[in-house]
């Protein structure tokens, strides 16, 4: 994501001009957009023109429009972001106050105006514009007859291709081998089409049993068609998974060998923290808490070591709810603790959402946290 211009006043109001350069940037923008924000961007609309003879023609007009956002929608399957609201700027194609939906596109500049740019939003923008922080990981999770080819980004796991094929039983060895070879060819074609082997630093290949190893043997055969795979052979990492479904990526990212390979990526750090939290829930539960009231109490006591939050908590239309979460992050960071904001589209983020979307690892045990009386001095 590129920031072209930033003008923020002392009261945190102001505007920022962006360009989304890749699909993940649209996910960041979806998390930044709030109800009542002013969004100005290029759009297209079918405009009817009536001639003097009474005939009506329709023409697609491209123009810029400024709307006051009322709701947003993000389609994760195609990484498409839409924002709907009323027009707030004079326009010859759309009347003032008339509803219009903007579909934000890649490589198109847009302008966003907010009454208040909070610290969490600004931090997200800084991370999204830091090219060095972006993970460069591909993944293939498979089982016999089913495979998902994915790109693992810092805030988004995108399924680029799903391959599904009926595989006959092994008691027909000739038919079975022919079907599996066809299955592997389709996966290899999907990898070639959707994964940039030059740019990616690691491609995880995961499956139950020996399916992954058989696939790797298939694509590393010394034939001309496999040259691109063989050239990048060292980037492929074979890992066990329980299934060929997308959610199995969560357990794959927990593997020690994977964590070592991806130790500098945001996703790996989040997964490691969540795994530690789950272990503490069983081994030392007085140092692991989830849910708003308990985590906020721990924060007020300065007891949090690692705070984990789902980004869905910041998309609430309730302004007080968002301010409450921003205040929690700011106080936690001020105490010297680590804060991880999980993407609700990442497998680890889905897992955190099942724990209310908010969890914390404490520096020391607080067995009576529900009975501790804390100050309400920061309440609005």
Q: What is the mean pLDDT of each run of 10 residues along the chain (380 residues)?
A: 92 94 86 93 85 76 94 83 94 91 92 93 84 70 95 78 88 84 95 88 93 95 88 92 91 81 69 92 93 92 94 79 90 93 84 93 86 48
Domain identity same for 101 and 208: no
> Are 28 and 95 found together in one domain?
yes
Q: Decide if 379 is inside a domain.
A: no
What's the CATH number where 353 sits?
Answer: 3.30.1330.30
Which residue, 243, 261, 279, sits at the end of a domain? Answer: 261
Q: How many CB atoms lie within 10 A of CB 328?
A: 24
How confident is the model at residue 378, as a pLDDT?
40
User: Are 323 and 361 within one domain?
Assistant: yes
Domain boundary among 81, 104, 132: 132
User: Do residues 305 and 335 lie in contact, with contact meaning Cβ atoms separated by under 8 Å?
Assistant: no
Tell whether 125 and 9 lie within a shared domain.
yes
Tell whether 253 and 296 lie within a shared domain. Answer: no
Same domain, 207 and 287: no
The pLDDT of residue 265:
62
Domain match, 128 and 145 both: no
What is the tally of structural domains in the chain?
A: 3
The whole-angstrom separation of Cα 247 and Cα 350 is: 9
d(CA 259, CA 263): 5
Task: Tell me if 167 sits within 8 A of 178, measured CB to CB.
Answer: no
Look at residue 303 in the predicted model and tell me its pLDDT. 94
CA distance 361 to 288: 5
E strand segments, the chain: 2-8, 14-19, 38-50, 56-75, 80-87, 99-104, 109-114, 137-143, 146-152, 157-164, 202-207, 236-240, 288-290, 304-310, 338-342, 358-362
pLDDT value of residue 343: 84
Domain boundary among 102, 132, 162: 132
Does residue 141 sit in the same domain as residue 256?
yes
Evaluate whether residue 73 is within a structural domain: yes
179 lies in the same domain as 297: no
- Do 249 and 284 lie in a common domain? no
276 in a structural domain = yes
If asked whether residues 302 and 345 sit together in one domain, one would say yes
The answer to whether residues 361 and 288 touch, using CB atoms and an 8 Å cutoff, is yes
Q: CA neighbours within 13 Å on the CB side: how many for 319?
A: 8
341 inside domain: yes
Same domain (yes/no): 247, 161: yes
Question: Is residue 221 in a domain?
Answer: yes
Domain of residue 189, CATH code: 3.30.420.60
Instruction: Check: CB of residue 326 under 8 Å from CB of residue 318.
Output: no
Domain range holding 83? 2-132
Is position 29 within any domain?
yes
* Residue 377 covered by a domain: no
CA distance linking residue 180 with residue 212, whole number of Å: 12
CATH number, domain with residue 46: 2.30.30.870
């Amino acid at each position: 994501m590129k920031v072209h211009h930033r003008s923020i006043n002392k009261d945190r109001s102001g505007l920022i001009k962006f360009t989304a350069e890749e699909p993940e940037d649209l996910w960041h923008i979806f998390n930044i957009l709030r109800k009542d924000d002013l969004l100005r961007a290029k759009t297209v609309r079918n405009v009817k023109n009536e001639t003097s003879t009474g005939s009506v023609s329709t023409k697609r007009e491209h123009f810029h429009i400024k709307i006051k956002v009322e709701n947003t929608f993000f389609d994760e399957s195609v990484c498409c972001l839409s924002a709907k609201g009323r027009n707030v700027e004079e326009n010859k194609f759309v009347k003032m106050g008339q509803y219009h939906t903007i579909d934000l596109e890649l490589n198109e500049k847009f302008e966003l105006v907010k009454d208040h740019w909070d610290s969490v939003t600004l931090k997200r923008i800084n991370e999204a514009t830091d090219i060095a922080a972006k993970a460069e990981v591909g993944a293939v999770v498979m089982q016999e007859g089913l495979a998902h080819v994915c790109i693992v980004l810092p805030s988004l796991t995108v399924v680029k291709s799903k391959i599904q094929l009926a595989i006959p039983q092994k008691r027909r060895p000739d038919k079975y081998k022919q079907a599996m070879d066809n299955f592997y060819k389709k996966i290899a074609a999907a990898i070639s089409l959707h994964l940039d082997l030059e740019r990616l630093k690691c491609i995880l290949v995961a499956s139950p049993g020996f399916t992954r190893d058989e696939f790797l043997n298939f694509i590393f055969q010394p034939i001309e068609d496999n040259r691109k795979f063989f050239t990048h052979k060292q980037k492929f990492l074979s890992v066990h998974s329980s299934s060929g479904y997308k959610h199995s990526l969560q357990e794959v990212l927990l593997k020690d060998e994977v964590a070592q390979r991806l130790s500098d990526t945001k996703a790996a750090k989040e997964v490691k923290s969540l795994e530690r939290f789950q272990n503490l829930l069983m081994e030392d539960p007085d140092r692991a808490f989830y849910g708003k009231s308990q985590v906020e109490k721990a924060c007020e006591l300065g007891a949090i070591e690692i705070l984990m939050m789902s980004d869905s908590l910041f998309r609430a239309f309730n302004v007080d709810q968002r301010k409450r979460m921003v205040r929690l992050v700011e106080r936690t960071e001020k105490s010297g603790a680590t804060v991880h904001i999980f993407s609700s589209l990442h497998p680890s983020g889905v897992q955190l959402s099942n724990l209310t979307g908010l969890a914390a690892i404490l520096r020391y045990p607080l067995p009576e946290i529900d009975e501790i009386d804390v100050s309400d001095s920061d309440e609005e």
